[in-house]
Amino acid sequence: MASPQLTTSPSQPARPRVVIVGAGFGGLAAVRALAKAPVEVLLINRTNYHGFWPLLYQVATAGLEPESIAYPVRAILRRYRNASFLLAEVTGVDFARRLVQTSAGPVSYDYLILAAGSTTNFFGNDQIARYTMGMKDLNEAQRLRNHVLLCCEHAAAESDPIRRAALLTFAVVGGGPTGVELAGAFVELIRHVIRHDYPMLDVQQARVVLIEATSHILASFPASLQRAALQRLQQMGVEVRLNTPVAGADPHGLSFRDGSRLDAETVVWAAGVRGAPLADALGVALGRGARVVVTPELTLPDDRRVFVIGDMAYLEGYRPGVAYPMVAPVAIQMGEQAARNIIAQINDQPMQPFRYVDKGQMATIGRSAAVLDAFGIRLSGWPAWAGWLFVHLMALVGFRNRALVLLNWAYSYFTYDRGVRLIFGVGAEEQTVAEAVLRD
Amino acid sequence: MASPQLTTSPSQPARPRVVIVGAGFGGLAAVRALAKAPVEVLLINRTNYHGFWPLLYQVATAGLEPESIAYPVRAILRRYRNASFLLAEVTGVDFARRLVQTSAGPVSYDYLILAAGSTTNFFGNDQIARYTMGMKDLNEAQRLRNHVLLCCEHAAAESDPIRRAALLTFAVVGGGPTGVELAGAFVELIRHVIRHDYPMLDVQQARVVLIEATSHILASFPASLQRAALQRLQQMGVEVRLNTPVAGADPHGLSFRDGSRLDAETVVWAAGVRGAPLADALGVALGRGARVVVTPELTLPDDRRVFVIGDMAYLEGYRPGVAYPMVAPVAIQMGEQAARNIIAQINDQPMQPFRYVDKGQMATIGRSAAVLDAFGIRLSGWPAWAGWLFVHLMALVGFRNRALVLLNWAYSYFTYDRGVRLIFGVGAEEQTVAEAVLRD
């Protein structure tokens, strides 16, 4: 497994090597910002594609095929002469010997940018981790899609009304943007697709329940937009349960702190994210959400050659006592700043602290409905939705992906149909109807 | 699991129930032909989609996403008032009690059409079955896609030239249309994608080897087109080995009857198909290729209520002593004839024997290259390729799928790129780089 590219040759290469872990928004921004720098860049990622996670919920609800929100990393790197790629899982870092431990062997670095992102936070509750579904990558989204469609198939063949109701109850825990977007998408799936595909089912039985522990959804948005979003969700028929902390989960539903329970065969856990497992493996100080504490220059406090950015980094200063949120714009700007600070170190110039230019935030609720809060502008309804469509379409990497997504959106908008309602791939094999029947 | 739809009620329904097993070309043709008949149709399929298998090789070579050649069965059935769907695996038939045994319980029928298709024929060689890859459904195609892309990633990090050569050797066994199309697609993947994505690799090392046991490829085509196809493949750089029967397979390659061997990490078995496993489970007489022997009216010899059509059916008369080929046009026309014969039985009229209207045959070899043999016309090169594109695009079910495929084809044609080179889904999880490295 020893290749010239990977071995630590006694004589270091002429140009310093910058190893970037993670091909998300942050990692790719760093690659871009280092394109003209006198460095050799090695990007390491566990998959061979960049995932456009803001649209992941549409994959999970049969609106987009997984391929349309994934873009091959090597296709992106073609543009950068000084960058190469390694498909591998990073398991740890040997800071003393400047080695990244990977599933493909050790990789040496002169400068390191850790941008491994985040994972679902089950807050240490094994029950919830086992019996609810996360939605953080393509596999989880496809598994969710297959599960939801399979529940409908089972419901169509189920004579017991109690079981049928549970099969048609889609619960989403967490009133953040992901939870809100997912709940809205489930309603549209039921209204426009399931109703036509399963004429024998009474879709009035189908329920979408959005569960939030606090007193309001979209915590990071202004109150006026929180109210607008809540109103819209309720108009769409989503049962929004505020102030309802979850106590536990089991194979057939959720139990709440107030002692009540909800029978639901589909429970999505969108109630929290935390730093990627790699953060725990580093053996450094972690802040809230298992994110790595970094200096304003985005380095480890005691190793200025190691930068941590994006969801993985814990840095306060956004608002007093509040860390920068886990969103793409923060990751992108941190990636650019980390790159600039590496160049500064090479040129023996002082590093600059990270300054965030807030691009605002938005969340879509459903057909022609969204909330947008940017540059002092606060929009809801159709204009916000149009803005959301435009921004996300433009942000997608690659003409082909843009065209695919646009095609799917146009198709769904005008036909009210969802093209990708296929039970296939991850989660489809291990969960056949046969097994499901035996399970019951 | 007892639902009104599935139980055998003592009093049979007013309209006779026709159960159709398989949502392929044959099964769907039968549903269409029964749309206006006084019958209740229940279509049973193991997946919830119809797969357009003629384009499967393009999924396997990263040209199309799986979703673009799959269409939801329920979306198709919306058009037919008398048809319903059951997602289940059919394991056998109780002819005496007129029950279909399924993973979702027994299903009663008055008339039965078995159209479960075919599966890869390893001719009883367990080695070959274990160490080569079939390509008969979306899972196998996606697994092949992931495997090929992963081999390239390994090659990029491999220093041993022998190992690297094996990782870049793509072998296809079987010179039929599938083998020819796959070999051509592999060459284009190497020439136009791998060369750009892996600048550190010498693509001259990459080999595509097409292995055929007999003295000619495309056996069913006229000799002139066989020669044209062979010439074209060789021009493209495919190593075509005729008269080279395979003796066995192992994890790292193939061994041949003549004692030689080929080191290849990718070996696709396209050397034969046989009737679906269901055929063996029926306990009836089977013809060559484990296909069910049927009467000219397409029924079982001793049960006129049970029809077998398409790849599953063995019926001679195409040419003396030769059974109808396993192709879509035969399946479609058999589906229509079976439907007509069921209506005839209901009306106490005589059944009619199956008459095949030969629509000809075609195979694509690569960019602007194909062979076509229809209605006495024999074409090769660009015109045949254009004809191939048109016929397959028109045959695709659903506007959305057509648009997706057209978009991908146009993108690939003009950019020479392949959009879907993602290591994801079936086969991607169990086969990480880490494991691959440990395996070696």
The per-residue pLDDT for range A207-221, each reduced to its tens digit, is 999 999 999 999 989
**What is the amino acid identity at position B308?**
V
Q: Do A157 and B403 touch (CB under 8 A)?
A: no
* Predicted local distance difference test score (pLDDT) of residue A402: 77
Name residues whose C-beta falls within 8 Å of residue A380's C-beta, 6 or more positions apart in sequence.
A225, A228, A229, A232, A369, A370, A371, A372
Q: Are residues A235 and A279 in the same domain?
A: no
Q: Do B426 and A425 touch (CB under 8 A)?
A: yes
Among all residues of A, which ones are annotated catalytic?
Answer: 181
Q: Digits of tens for pLDDT over chain B (440 positions)?
A: 334 344 444 454 589 999 999 999 999 999 999 999 999 999 999 999 999 999 999 999 988 888 889 999 998 998 899 999 999 999 999 999 999 999 999 999 999 999 999 999 999 999 999 999 999 999 999 999 999 999 999 999 899 999 999 999 999 999 999 999 999 999 999 988 888 899 888 888 899 999 999 999 999 899 999 999 999 999 999 999 999 999 999 999 999 999 999 999 999 999 999 999 999 999 999 999 999 999 999 999 999 999 999 999 999 987 778 899 999 999 999 999 999 999 999 999 999 999 999 888 888 888 778 888 888 888 888 888 888 888 888 777 776 777 777 777 777 777 777 767 778 777 665 443 333 333 33
Q: Are residues A149 and A287 in the same domain?
A: no
Distance from CA of B111 to the nearest CA of A (A): 21
The rounded distance, in Å, linking the Cα atoms of A310 and A26 is: 6
Considering only CB atoms, A1 lies closest to which of B157, B399, B408, namely B157
Buried b (16+ CB within 10 A) or exposed e, A289-312: bbbbbbbebbbbeeeebbbbbbbb
- Chain A hits for B78, Cβ within 8 Å: 196-197
Q: Do B411 and A400 touch (CB under 8 A)?
A: yes
**Is the pLDDT confidence value at A363 over 80?**
yes
- Chain A hits for B149, Cβ within 8 Å: 48
In this structure, is residue B66 part of a structural domain?
A: no
Domain limits at B94?
A: 4-46+88-120+274-346
**What is the amino acid identity at position A195?**
R
Q: Are residues A251 and A390 in the same domain?
A: yes
Total domains, chain A: 2
Distance from CA of B158 to the nearest CA of A (A): 6
| Residue in A closest to B435 by C-alpha | A103
In this structure, is residue B306 part of a structural domain?
A: yes
The rounded distance, in Å, linking the Cα atoms of B408 and B58 is: 10
Q: Are residues A228 and A246 in the same domain?
A: yes
Q: Do B87 and A48 touch (CB under 8 A)?
A: no
Phi/psi for B176 (5° steps) reads -80, 180
Token pair 């760093």 in the structure block, residue: A30
Q: Name the more confident of A434 and B164.
A: B164
Active-site hit among B181, B188, B265, B336:
B181
Q: How does pLDDT run across A365-405, given as a tens digit for each residue?
A: 887 788 888 888 888 888 888 888 888 887 777 767 777 77
Q: How does pLDDT run across A276-310, given as a tens digit for each residue?
A: 999 999 999 999 999 999 999 999 999 999 999 99
- Chain B hits for A104, Cβ within 8 Å: 157, 433-434, 437
Select from A270, A246, A289, A266 the least CA-distant residue to A127.
A246
Considering only CB atoms, B433 lies closest to which of A72, A104, A419, namely A104
Q: Are residues B168 and B264 in the same domain?
A: yes
Q: Are residues A148 and A260 in the same domain?
A: yes
Q: Are residues B93 and B211 in the same domain?
A: no
Pairing of strands B361-366, B369-374: antiparallel
Considering only CB atoms, B424 lies closest to which of A87, A138, A159, namely A138
| Residue in B closest to A140 by C-alpha | B425
* Structure-token pair, residue B205: 């090392």
Average pLDDT over chain A reads 89
Q: Do A67 and B437 touch (CB under 8 A)?
A: no
In this structure, is residue A80 part of a structural domain?
A: no
A-B contacts (CB, under 8 Å)? 179
Q: Do B65 and A65 touch (CB under 8 A)?
A: yes
Contact between A248 and A254 (Cβ < 8 Å): yes
Tell me what ipTM this predicted complex has.
0.85
* Predicted local distance difference test score (pLDDT) of residue B250: 96
Mutate to test the interface with A, among B43, B87, B152, B402 (most CBs of A within 10 A): B87
Contact between B24 and B127 (Cβ < 8 Å): no
Considering only CB atoms, B196 lies closest to which of A78, A84, A417, namely A78
The rounded distance, in Å, linking the Cα atoms of B429 and B147 is: 11
| Residue in A closest to B198 by C-alpha | A74
Q: Are residues B314 and B239 in the same domain?
A: no
Distance from CA of A106 to the nearest CA of B (A): 12
Which residue, of B346, B369, B394, is where some domain finishes? B346
Q: Do A440 and B1 touch (CB under 8 A)?
A: yes
CA B408 and chain centroid, separation: 21
DSSP string, B371-427: EEEETTEEEESHHHHHHHHHHHHHHSSSHHHHHHHHHHHHHHHHH---TT----STT
* Predicted local distance difference test score (pLDDT) of residue A439: 34
**Is the pLDDT confidence value at A269 over 70?**
yes
For residues A331-343, average pLDDT = 97
- Report the CATH number that the domain containing residue A23 is assigned in CATH: 3.50.50.60
Distance from CA of B378 to the nearest CA of A (A): 35
Burial class (CB in 10 A: 0-12, 13-18, 19+), A404: buried
In this structure, is residue B64 part of a structural domain?
A: no
For residues A410-425, average pLDDT = 74
CA A136 and chain centroid, separation: 4
Q: Are residues A265 and A180 in the same domain?
A: yes
In this structure, is residue A379 part of a structural domain?
A: yes
Q: Are residues B253 and B376 in the same domain?
A: yes
- Chain B hits for A432, Cβ within 8 Å: 89, 103
**Is the pLDDT confidence value at A60 over 90?**
yes
In this structure, is residue B322 part of a structural domain?
A: yes
Distance from CA of A67 to the nearest CA of B (A): 6
Considering only CB atoms, A3 lies closest to which of B48, B159, B432, namely B159
Contact between A64 and A141 (Cβ < 8 Å): no
**What is the amino acid identity at position B343?**
I
Q: Are residues B184 and B266 in the same domain?
A: yes
For CA atoms A97, A101, A106, A108, the dihedral sign is negative
| Residue in B closest to A153 by C-alpha | B87
In this structure, is residue B285 part of a structural domain?
A: yes
The rounded distance, in Å, linking the Cα atoms of A326 and B77 is: 44
Q: What is the pTM of this model?
A: 0.88
Mutate to test the interface with A, among B64, B195, B400 (most CBs of A within 10 A): B400
- Report the CATH number that the domain containing residue B415 is assigned in CATH: 3.50.50.100
| Residue in A closest to B140 by C-alpha | A425
Token pair 């590496």 in the structure block, residue: A342
Mutate to test the interface with A, among B5, B416, B422, B432 (most CBs of A within 10 A): B422
* Predicted local distance difference test score (pLDDT) of residue A73: 93
Q: How does pLDDT run across A243-252, given as a tens digit for each residue?
A: 999 999 999 9
Mutate to test the interface with B, among A87, A143, A196, A413 (most CBs of B within 10 A): A87
Q: Do A419 and B401 touch (CB under 8 A)?
A: yes
In the 8-state DSSP scheme, what is residue A133? B
Q: Name the more confident of A38 and A406.
A: A38
From first CA to last CA, the distance across chain A in angstroms is 47
In this structure, is residue A53 part of a structural domain?
A: no
* Predicted local distance difference test score (pLDDT) of residue A10: 46
Q: Are residues A262 and A169 in the same domain?
A: yes
Q: Do B3 and A158 touch (CB under 8 A)?
A: yes
